[in-house]
Structure 1
């Protein structure tokens, strides 16, 4: 017999109205993702000021992405079990501390600790993955993809706002003060997190099991494994472009300001792309939409590299890529929620996101290594095209539907 009583609520045990939950969650997603997405703007001023190699800088941010991925399922499981608010608040404090320590870091080795490990833990514990877990338990299943799209769109708006904001901070105050200002902005998350307080309960019809058993059963589900593999490619694309795209455009003759606006345009256009992906995800097969997104990324990148690179072509590519940028997130989160229900959403989306961040590690690191060895980013651009086509193929066999292992036994459902 299930331990779930008829009076136990599904989702948040809170008096906070749903609109306030969504608004607070979107601001948190915007601030945490926006500050992190401006990291590429610091590559040139820091490496030139301190004499670091691009590979050293890239390795620190690659470690950040990897630690972020490792922290995500742990933080997600903690939020599922003990509550979202305290998870987000602790993460924001660690995140802000990492930014501040980065501002006074004299060497690459210490940067790997502050900007790498500390920021990675902070981002993984206070990012949109935790916000989406809160949204997943607060809204009905048929509306989750769209609400996930709203959270993702807010993250993208953060990238649009923070790219020129971060560049303005650097230009007017220097890179050290810019990092301190970003740290202060991150502290906004602490009071906002109280709006998302609550934890997830097991809904009727879903199996109730220990978290590690749920993880083992999820990894045995073939469609989930394909989804996790495909998400690796998304991380590779996003991290490489976030960190190295501004420097690549400067190398092609654009100004740092134009490069920051190109990065910002990716975020602006992904507001529409994420909302569209979330809306379509409630109406069309999510796995086919994911396949189309990865295919279009590969084709769009190939076209960009084949044509002369100008300020206008960079803006057009940024806008096109923006429509596809984080559009994978509401669809991937929607499939995880569909496979396994909201009870284990934080942890199991976190596991998929770990794959994403392993891809991010290689995207950032190989970008820096390729430039230091060859003086260009060409090899990583071409690799990104090839694995984009691979991911497009991987998503096609995925089947929508509840994973059988996560259905409650008939006797338990009847008892409820």
Structure 2
């Protein structure tokens, strides 16, 4: 493909990523706090929210994989259409209070599920387009750079939200939510315009029939390397999501924190990840992506237990700085594995199977964790400790079973 056209598309992709991340950093980070503060969600209903949020990702990847496989020549259109729905719907979450209380709660649940479903379909299409744009040789460096840009854009969005909650009086928190989500909506529209300008420079010459797509799933599941990786990520995602519905609830109700705690923590994690992506990218080139994967998993294990012993804002920020840095290792390794472990013709099916399995199990795990947590504070603490133990176990499984990955 012509280098000048490639450079233009990659530049647009970076700009689209930055505006998308700015928007969703506000709309997704504040969603649970908004549900608790404004719509009065309890921990059990938060569990339902996370169940739908994660579970709809599985459904989206199943449908998306079939769509991308059978309409592969139009994969860029799938990315654009479903990507637009994802970012715009997320930005409307903060207007749920304009409806009657129960209707508003139902709207929030439905919008989050739909946005996540659309985002999953867009993610498969984007991953397939992106993997053909970026060569294996450039993969680690390019995605390290793109992830760092995304995290910096996240920080800018979160800083905007933090300023809003500091500037308005406590009694006007609803006003701050309205302005924050209005800002997210404007940014989502800008990112949609940039998304519409992207081109697919390596459009596949053909698409698969539905039966061929189903056969693709079967072939991927029969690959020892791919199936072992799917099992590993499914295990890890499940134990990570045991306390998935509890983090913000714990901050706001047990530690008596505020929305600013949530946004400042997210800023700390994102800045730390931005540094982490740069440093881990260099480390991976020396020690290999496989080692980076299981070390990254192991390093995340102290986070849930440390969280419940960090009752102040400064302690929480320290946990987040560590968290962001070590999650960068896993996220970078997983990103590279996801795109380059399968053969090119199997990539769509692998991404779909990986996300279908891991998110289906994760949605059940988050619902289970919320149900246990609803019994009281000590059971809630036990969920966090169980996540730590599970992560350690997953790191040992990764060391034993993670496949080798050959990059050019």
Shorter-chain TM range is 0.7 to 0.9
Query: Could you say if the C-alpha distance between residues 79 and 27 of structure 1 is closer, same or farther in structure 2, counting changes exceeding 3 Å?
Result: farther
Identify which range, 50-59 or 318-327, moves more after superposition.
Answer: 50-59
- Report the RMSD for the aligned CA atoms in angstroms: 3.5
Partners of 1:167 and 1:126 in 2: how far apart? 29
Identify which range, 311-320 or 345-354, moves more after superposition.
Answer: 345-354
The question of whether the paired residues in 1 share the 8 Å contact of 2:24 and 2:184 is answered with: no
Pick from 311, 320, 323 the counterpart of residue 321 of structure 1.
Answer: 323
Does residue 63 of structure 1 match 2:52? yes
Pick from 70, 88, 97 the counterpart of residue 89 of structure 2.
Answer: 97
The question of whether the paired residues in 1 share the 8 Å contact of 2:289 and 2:405 is answered with: no
Query: Could you say if the C-alpha distance between residues 145 and 367 of structure 1 is closer, same or farther in structure 2, counting changes exceeding 3 Å?
Result: same
Other structure's SS at 1:288 match: helix
Partners of 2:93 and 2:302 in 1: how far apart? 40
Partners of 2:233 and 2:190 in 1: how far apart? 30
Offset of 1:67 from its aligned partner?
0.9
Query: Could you say if the C-alpha distance between residues 56 and 255 of structure 1 is closer, same or farther in structure 2, counting changes exceeding 3 Å?
Result: closer
How high is the TM-score relative to the length of structure 2?
0.79
Partners of 1:326 and 1:350 in 2: how far apart? 22
Pick from 99, 120, 124 the counterpart of residue 124 of structure 1.
Answer: 120
Query: Could you say if the C-alpha distance between residues 45 and 26 of structure 1 is closer, same or farther in structure 2, counting changes exceeding 3 Å?
Result: closer
Partners of 2:196 and 2:81 in 1: how far apart? 12
The question of whether the paired residues in 1 share the 8 Å contact of 2:151 and 2:273 is answered with: yes
Does residue 398 of structure 1 match 2:390? no
Structure 2 portions without partners, runs of 5+: 166-172, 206-210
Offset of 1:77 from its aligned partner?
5.7
Offset of 1:269 from its aligned partner?
0.9
The question of whether the paired residues in 1 share the 8 Å contact of 2:144 and 2:278 is answered with: yes
Query: Could you say if the C-alpha distance between residues 93 and 136 of structure 1 is closer, same or farther in structure 2, counting changes exceeding 3 Å?
Result: closer
Identify which range, 143-152 or 219-228, moves more after superposition.
Answer: 143-152
Query: Could you say if the C-alpha distance between residues 369 and 275 of structure 1 is closer, same or farther in structure 2, counting changes exceeding 3 Å?
Result: farther
Identify which range, 236-245 or 223-232, moves more after superposition.
Answer: 236-245
How high is the TM-score relative to the length of structure 1?
0.78
Indicate the residue corresponding to 2:276 in structure 1: 273
Offset of 1:226 from its aligned partner?
2.5
Q: How many equivalent pairs are there?
A: 383
Kindly indicate which of the two structures has a greater share of residues assigned to helix: 2
Does residue 385 of structure 1 match 2:388? yes
Query: Could you say if the C-alpha distance between residues 344 and 283 of structure 1 is closer, same or farther in structure 2, counting changes exceeding 3 Å?
Result: farther
Indicate the residue corresponding to 1:408 in structure 2: none
Structure 1 portions without partners, runs of 5+: 1-8, 204-208, 403-416
Offset of 1:130 from its aligned partner?
4.6
The question of whether the paired residues in 1 share the 8 Å contact of 2:127 and 2:339 is answered with: no
The question of whether the paired residues in 2 share the 8 Å contact of 1:298 and 1:386 is answered with: yes
Other structure's SS at 2:302 match: helix
Indicate the residue corresponding to 2:169 in structure 1: none
Pick from 153, 158, 168 the counterpart of residue 163 of structure 1.
Answer: 158
Other structure's SS at 1:399 match: coil
Does residue 109 of structure 1 match 2:106? yes
Counterparts of residues 295-374 of structure 1 (less than 5 Å): 295-305=298-308, 307=309, 309-362=311-364, 364-374=366-376
